[in-house]
Amino acid sequence: MSEVHAVRRGLLRDRCAAAGSAAALVSRPANVRYLAGGAPPGAVLLLGPGEDVLLCPRAPAGEGAHGRPDEALRIDLLPVPDEDPVVAAAGLAAASGAESLAVEEHDLTVARHRAMGKSAPRLKLADLGFTVEQQRIVKDEEEIGCLRIAAEITDQALGELLESILVGRTERHLALELERRLVDHGADGPAFVTSVATGPNSGQGRHRPSDRRVEEGDFLSVRLGASYHGYRCEIGRTFVIGTAPAEWQIELYDLVFAAQRAGRETLAPGTAYRDVDRAARHPLESAGYGEVLQPVTGHGVGLENEEDPQLAPTAMGKLDACVPVTVGPGVHLPGRGGVRIDDTLVVRPEADGGPELLTMTTKELLAL
Amino acid sequence: MSEVHAVRRGLLRDRCAAAGSAAALVSRPANVRYLAGGAPPGAVLLLGPGEDVLLCPRAPAGEGAHGRPDEALRIDLLPVPDEDPVVAAAGLAAASGAESLAVEEHDLTVARHRAMGKSAPRLKLADLGFTVEQQRIVKDEEEIGCLRIAAEITDQALGELLESILVGRTERHLALELERRLVDHGADGPAFVTSVATGPNSGQGRHRPSDRRVEEGDFLSVRLGASYHGYRCEIGRTFVIGTAPAEWQIELYDLVFAAQRAGRETLAPGTAYRDVDRAARHPLESAGYGEVLQPVTGHGVGLENEEDPQLAPTAMGKLDACVPVTVGPGVHLPGRGGVRIDDTLVVRPEADGGPELLTMTTKELLAL
């Protein structure tokens, strides 16, 4: 277990050394967690030049152990009660003889960066860039195992909701109920804010649940995901309420389903990110919905809900094996509603059976 | 309604002008919301030199209206689909003839700040510092009205929980139930992660709810708050489970209650922040608990759950009228548990009846 994090840190240290920095400071919480096995609030990770150390603000006496790094890690944990941990880290790096420290300029604020410079004026602050984020894209089997469990939990929560009576209940209540069920089934918590959208709201990925009640004839679209050991999956489904979907509902559903399948089918090592997006986007554009599509068709998942890669028209790069991504196109027609279908899958070579679908809930158009 | 935000922006513009910048860029979401009446995700507010404008990343077509600024504001909303809004803002300020732009260096990352400098090389980037946070400390009666409703909602949610059967239920479930009840009673959502701590976990303000079940004889401490129209209150209470509290429980409870009351009683315009902290801390230190106290006794509340002022031993500054703060000392004894009692109050002059208590749930030691 703890070996994994030491190996990740070793890899990062090699990359930093190659770029001319013997020391690096990681401050983005998901990156700290990836490299240290845990991220107490406010903790930052100093790699080299000496022993790796996790610097954290003073934990109030007796506070809970949530987010604490695995004790088996043997990574030193240094509380710095009266100082910003990044400033303490700069001092420590300078005192250890480092000439240059690579920092995450996309995470550090200008004020903190300046305070580091003041406290260690002879230390050159370089930019680590998105090195750790890049390192996180391809997952190991343990990480994929966590995602698989997160997806199972998500499927369970959603399945239970579908068995209950929906008409008359508000979006807000259904969203809370889904989140409760995620936790019931062992999630750390929801991976992101659960979206439940009914009637004219349906088909929007990020609709905030309102007090609108489910009515007969509505489309009902949900987007949710569990976080399990920090790993976050995502599922999106659209249902119809009542016995007989209208013609336009069936047509729109079939179209979005075909688009989503087309996107899924492109998932393979070597496929360009933009080609996944194009496969899912093209059928919807051809049907005249180009104007209402979202800018991104899918994205990586892991310790953050939306991480690299982005599956979008201008994205650069190609898929690797063992990259988990979402594929979730949707169409929302203002005033009428719409459809969104979203899965989490892991890219696998064809020899291994092709893309591994993690979110198993049926994509048939269910009439509830 | 919308006048309020224009007045706030006018005040900020005057302060910036006095500091030598005709233009300011506000990026911290709570500050954007305070000045514009809403903060769509990723939006930043450019004040002067021309018309104030809210720059936001392209909203996906038809997305929900959550967080949108009040339309009555007549503040221009400028989508900048292909650019970081802060970079677009720098370009706009330069094109409008601004020589200097004050930015929130404590919020902007180094990478974004650098991108602004590159895009508008002749624009001097100054530091706005915590000007907006300072402006937010004293609340108007409309803001206090929102906090009052948030507190009522919180009291209702907590009151209902106390009427239900607690023994045998997990911390996690009780926390979820409280959050559901907050929403039921009209909250936007919880103001922060609800904490429910039982038995040996009790008395910790930030304990993350676990699968531990409530047992007879436990202390049960809860910390929760509703967010209403963005305004966040906080309450903390400790109860005992079963018919007869143990002697040590009664003693500890009485001690923390006396300390919390002492802190509350100091709340008045002109009282130094540190004197509130000292009043609540001293009785606990005298009883030998100095080592296990948290570094902060209370803090401001408003659009963020923890905002200025901090009530702590080294805090500088004095209370004003109409500043809402929490007062919540606690003692946690490792392995045994503890007590925390936390209220939200508004500082009022004695002529107006002294501090206004917003969180009304009884502070008697209830045996449930």
Q: Give pLDDT tens digits for A85-96.
A: 999 999 999 999
* pLDDT at B61 > cutoff 50: no
Residue carrying the six token digits 């077509």: B61
User: Which among A276, A291, A272, A304 has a CA at the least distance from the CA of B58?
Assistant: A291
For residue B64, pLDDT beyond 70: no
Between CA A248 and CA A328 the distance in angstroms is 20
Indicate the residue type of A23. Answer: A
Query: What is the reported pLDDT for A68?
Result: 45
B270 exposure class (CB count in 10 Å sphere: 0-12, 13-18, 19+): exposed
> Averaged over B264-280, what is the pLDDT?
98
**Residue A164 one-letter amino acid:** S
In this prediction, what percent of chain B has a pLDDT beyond 70?
95
Range A157-184 average pLDDT: 92
B70 pLDDT more than 70: no
If residue B340 lies in a helix (H) or strand (E), which one and from where to where?
A: strand B337-340
Q: To which H or E segment does residue A337 belong?
A: strand A337-340
**What pLDDT is recorded for position B71?**
45
Nearest to B204 among A63, A172, A294 (CB): A63
pLDDT of residue B260: 98
pLDDT reported for residue A59: 54
Q: What pLDDT does residue B187 have? A: 93
Q: Nearest to residue B331, comparing CAs of B289, B288, B275, B279?
A: B289
**Cα A93 from chain centre:** 32
Average confidence (pLDDT) over A179-206: 92
Strand partners, A56: A79
| pLDDT band with cut points at 50, 70 and 90 for residue A82 | confident
Look up the ipTM and state it.
0.81
Q: Yes or no: say if A252 and A338 are a contact pair by the CB < 8 Å rule.
A: yes
Distance CA B134, CA B8 (A): 12
Of A179, A204, A291, the CB nearest to B63: A204
Confidence at residue B63, expressed as pLDDT on a 0 to 100 scale: 38
- Does residue A37 come out as left (phi exceeding 0), alpha (psi in the -120 to 50 range) or beta? left
Q: Is the pLDDT of residue B207 over 50?
A: yes
Average pLDDT, chain A: 92
The pLDDT score that the predictor gives to residue A62 is 37
For residues A217 and B206, give the distance between their C-alpha atoms in angstroms, rounded to a whole number: 44
- Chain A residues touching chain B at CB-CB below 8 Å: 58, 60-64, 66, 81, 103, 105-114, 127, 172, 176, 179-180, 183, 197, 201, 203-208, 210, 291-295, 332-334, 338
Mean pLDDT of A210-231: 95
Q: Is the pLDDT of residue A74 over 80?
A: no
Nearest to A291 among B61, B180, B292 (CB): B61
Q: Which pLDDT does position A40 carry in this prediction?
A: 85
Question: How confident is the model at residue B136, as a pLDDT?
Answer: 98
Q: What is the pLDDT of residue B128?
A: 96
Per-residue pLDDT, averaged over B287-302, amounts to 93
* Position B327 confidence tier, pLDDT thresholds 50, 70, 90: very high
Residue of A58, A180, A334 lying closest to B62 (CB–CB): A334
pLDDT tens-digit readout, B131-186: 999 999 999 999 999 999 999 999 999 999 999 889 999 998 899 899 989 988 99
Distance CA A83, CA A20 (A): 28
CB contact under 8 A, B60 and A295: yes
The whole-angstrom separation of Cα A154 and Cα A143 is: 17
Lowest-confidence region among A195-204, A287-296, B257-266, B324-333: A287-296
Query: CB A64 to CB B110 under 8 A?
Result: no
The full set of domains in chain A, from first to last, is 2-136 (3.40.350.10), 141-357 (3.90.230.10)
Here the tokens at position A314 are 């201008």
> Going by DSSP bridges, is the β-strand pair B76-79/B53-56 parallel, antiparallel, or unpaired?
parallel
Res B165: pLDDT:
87
Report the residue of B110, B206, B281, B297 to disrupt the A interface, i.e. the one with the largest count of A CBs within 10 Å.
B110
**Residue A102 banded pLDDT, cuts 50, 70, 90:** very high
Least confident stretch, A117-121, B25-29, B205-209, B329-333 = B205-209
Read off the amino acid at residue A104: E
Q: Show residues of chain B in contact with A292, CB under 8 Å.
A: 61-62
CA distance A45 to A28: 9
Collect all residues of chain B within an 8 Å Cβ-Cβ radius of residue A295. Answer: 58, 60, 81
pLDDT of residue B58: 67
Q: Which pLDDT does position B59 carry in this prediction?
A: 55
As a whole number of angstroms, the distance between CA B66 and CA A11 comes to 42
* Top mean-pLDDT range of A278-282, B55-59, B62-66: A278-282
Would the CB atoms of A108 and B108 count as touching at under 8 Å?
no
pLDDT higher than 90, residue B1: no
Q: What is the pLDDT of residues A266-282, one digit of tens each?
A: 999 999 999 999 999 99
